[in-house]
A and B are shown apart, each in its own frame.
Chain A
């Protein structure tokens, strides 16, 4: 249900290519992207996804990079010196790890730093914590592409817990 609503937001914003890395929180989203036959290219490292997204955007596509928030650290230079520098549109859809229910302690430092990192890069960002936030996510995605900007959404783990 939550996975479907997330991909509904992507389709409402005309997302037509996804670059992805694995995350157990996001596995349902990736399955749903495939079910709807949106082109998806799994990448080996987040920075590579920013590069492929830039090439796709140069051909007029609307790319989304689906990753864990820890991956933001693996692509900061590319976000700044490629997507941001050329004003190529890109949406970052991130699972927000490192919260209260996190099982992996090493996720905590980047989980805490992610908003400050995005703010310091000038990347507009929102938290998505309940299904009520999907309306906001959908319009934020659309605005991101229409203004050839970079936008980021952090999906909280509670989003999936709420449906169970």
Chain B
């Protein structure tokens, strides 16, 4: 799977989406810009945390699109998510075994580290590894009623898409107005 295909599959659902810094945010912006998207422009590592904060604060389903490199930077978040596990939260870890936005340098998941096993060991109950788009779609929908961590195997590589052309305050205000409408 390509990361951009994973992102487009998630964006078919009418959920709040937190998109990780760099190419994940750019690919979501290019494929399916909408008010329910929160594009991270900085703070690498915090997609899962932003998603958790959103999920515990309002009822709509939240999907945080994270990456293996970013999750490795904030591993404690997997424990925090396991212990609070809001029913409306899904963390998708795109595991391309590389720091994709900085040139594809390998992460430790290319070697010995199994990020899905780490998520399980942190106490998460529903951890699903998928390697096809069909399996991803099934996992997203079958686990749509409770907390889930989906690890999606992906090839390294980015789409040739432009940077997000919204200011941070535009992203925030549009997103917040959308969240308010759903409450």
- A and B are partners in one complex rather than unrelated chains: yes
Interface residues of A (CB under 8 A from B): 17, 39, 41-45, 47-61, 63, 77-78, 80-82, 85-88
How far, in angstroms, from A58 to B47 measured CA to CA in the complex? 13
Measured CB to CB, the nearest residue on chain A to B57 is: A59
Measured CB to CB, the nearest residue on chain B to A51 is: B49
Does B168 contact A60, Cβ atoms closer than 8 Å?
no
Q: What count of chain B residues pass the 8 Å CB interface test?
A: 35
Does A52 contact B42, Cβ atoms closer than 8 Å?
no
1/0 per residue, CB under 8 A from A, across B86-122: the answer is 0000000000000000000000000000000000000
Interface residues of B in 33-63 (CB under 8 A from A): 38, 40-43, 45-58, 62
Find chain B residues with CB under 8 A from A88 CB: 172
| A60-B180, A86-B172 as given contacts; A44 in contact with B79, CB under 8 Å | yes
User: Which listed residue, A45, A47, A58, A81, touches B54 by the CB 8 Å rule?
Assistant: A58
Does A87 contact B172, Cβ atoms closer than 8 Å?
yes
Does A82 contact B53, Cβ atoms closer than 8 Å?
no
How many A-B residue contacts, CB cutoff 8 Å?
116
Question: Is residue B146 within 8 Å, beta carbon to beta carbon, of the partner chain?
Answer: no
User: Which listed residue, A39, A42, A43, A49, touches B56 by the CB 8 Å rule?
Assistant: A39
Does B76 contact A44, Cβ atoms closer than 8 Å?
yes
Interface residues of B (CB under 8 A from A): 18, 38, 40-43, 45-58, 62, 74, 76-77, 79-80, 84, 168-169, 171-172, 175-176, 179-180
Find chain A residues with CB under 8 A from B38 CB: 58
How far, in angstroms, from A54 to B39 measured CA to CA in the complex? 13
**Min C-beta distance of A83 to chain B, whole Å:** 9
23 A–B contacts from the bound complex (CB under 8 Å):
A17-B56, A17-B57, A41-B84, A43-B80, A44-B76, A44-B80, A52-B80, A54-B53, A55-B18, A55-B50, A55-B62, A58-B38, A58-B172, A58-B175, A59-B54, A59-B57, A60-B57, A60-B179, A80-B42, A82-B42, A85-B42, A86-B168, A87-B168
Measured CB to CB, the nearest residue on chain B to A45 is: B76
| A54-B50, A54-B53, A55-B49 as given contacts; A43 in contact with B43, CB under 8 Å | no
Measured CB to CB, the nearest residue on chain B to A16 is: B57
How far, in angstroms, from A78 to B21 measured CA to CA in the complex? 12
Does B41 contact A45, Cβ atoms closer than 8 Å?
no
